[in-house]
Structure 1
């Protein structure tokens, strides 16, 4: 959607400052062996394969 397509007062325009969500990068939580994402931050050991995970 371009600026020309937007309608004044569109509620989607107001979401920028208050939008929440997941962090931009979860790479430090991903196990390099099996790809599982750790539940804790910082991760210490992969719950899937048991590999020790080192802090980034």
Structure 2
């Protein structure tokens, strides 16, 4: 099976609040934004890569 090269770009901002810049963010309660739009996490991208045997 041939494998083609692939580039993976990871922006690890710990679930950054990109949706906070939408007009919607000013119209709903912060708890709604946190529950449905923000994706905060404590994942280590380095450890995730190691777990999947990724080599840079």
Band the TM-score falls in, shorter-chain normalisation: under 0.3
Structure showing the higher helix proportion among its residues: 2
TM-score w.r.t. the length of structure 1 is: 0.27
TM-score w.r.t. the length of structure 2 is: 0.27
Highest RCO, 1 vs 2 (Cα 8 Å, sep ≥ 6): 2
Structure number with bigger Rg: 1
